[in-house]
Amino acid sequence: MSALLSLRNVWVEYGDKIVLERVDLDIEAGSFVSIIGPSGAGKSSLLRIILGQEVPTSGTILLDDIPLTPECGPDRGVVFQRYSVFPHLSALGNVVFGLECEQAPFTARLFGAKRRGAIAQATEMLKAVGLGDSLNLYPAQMSGGMQQRLAIAQALIKRPRILLLDEPFGALDPGIRADMHALITQLWRDYSLTIIMVTHDIREAFALGTRVLTLDKRRRDPHAPHRFGATAVYDLPLTKKFKAEAEAEESITLDRVGNN
C-alpha cells in the first residue's frame, strides 16, 4: 500500500450524535487535499482525529501503515485559523521553540553552538515564508497574514509528514489571501509536503488542492437528524490542475506579445 495516511471505517460520535460515519480514505504522499462541506459536517472533527487531538469512536488511522497514537506529535504539523503562535515569543523564538523541545528535553532551551545552529535554521525558514525582516517582532506587532506565515514556518521547521491546515486563511482579507495561496503552493512544491486543508472557500479548495473531498451526510432522518453522520460524498482528483496552470502561463505570454 502506497498511502501515507489511511483511515479505515472511522466513526466519530459525541454522545448519541454521530458526526462522521464510515470514513475510508487513503492519502498519498505529496498530495494537497482540500476538505470542504457545509458547517457542522465534521470537517474540523476529521482534522482533529488526524491530528490526534481527538480519538475516533471506532476505526483505525494508519500513518505509514502504523496505527496513530491518540496524541498530537511532531509528525503532524498544524496551522489553525488563529492562536497558533505564542504571543510571548518573538518570531524567531516561535520557530526555534520546535528545535529546542527536541534537543533539550529538560531545559527546553539551547546554548552555544547548538543555539546558533537552531537560530540559523529558523532564520532560513522565516526567510522562506517571507518574514526575513521581522525576526524580532512579537506576534502582537504583526498583521494577521504575517502571523499565519509565522505559524506555517513554525510547523515546517519540524519537517512534519503531514501539514494540517484548519481554515488557515479564513480570517485574512482577499489580497493577503492571494499572497498566502501563492506562498503555500510554493512551500508545498519546495518542501514536497503532504497537506490536508479544511476550508469554507470552495474556490480556494479547487485552486490549491490536487484533490478535493466534500464531506456531507449521505442519508438524512428528518426526525433524528443527529443519528446520521457525514462522510466523503465527493472525492475529486484534480489531475488537470497543472496542465491548466501551464496554459494560464502561456496565455499571459501571448497576451504580452499581443500588447507589444
Residue 78 vs 183, nearer CB to other proteins: 78
Cell numbers placing 28: 498519498
In angstroms, the CA 209 to CA 198 distance is: 11
Quick one: which of 13, 102, 179, 201 contacts other proteins (CB under 8 A)? Answer: 102
CB of 128 to other proteins, least distance (A): 17
* 197 strand-pairing partners: 34, 165
User: Packing angle between helix 144-156 and helix 112-128, nearest 10 degrees?
Assistant: 130
Name residues contacting other proteins, limited to 105-134 (CB under 8 A). Answer: 105-109
Identify the DSSP state of 103: H
Q: Are 114 and 201 in contact (CB under 8 A)?
A: no
> Which span (12-20, 21-29, 70-78, 225-233) binds other proteins, by CB under 8 A?
70-78
Which residues in 136-179 belong to E strands, given as ranges? 162-166
Quick one: which of 73, 130, 144, 170 contacts other proteins (CB under 8 A)? Answer: 73
Would you say the C-alpha torsion 17, 10, 57, 209 has a positive or negative sign? negative
Quick one: which of 37, 56, 77, 209 contacts other proteins (CB under 8 A)? Answer: 77
Quick one: which of 51, 146, 172, 183 contacts other proteins (CB under 8 A)? Answer: 51
Quick one: which of 32, 97, 169, 188 contacts other proteins (CB under 8 A)? Answer: 97
Beta-carbon contacts of 67 under 8 Å, excluding residues fewer than 6 positions away, are 60, 61
> Which span (126-134, 138-146, 205-213, 246-254) binds other proteins, by CB under 8 A?
138-146
Residue 98 vs 209, nearer CB to other proteins: 98
In angstroms, the CA 169 to CA 165 distance is: 9
Q: Which residues bind other proteins (CB under 8 A)?
A: 51, 53, 71-74, 76-78, 80, 82-88, 97-98, 100-102, 105-109, 138-141, 151, 154-155, 157-158, 160
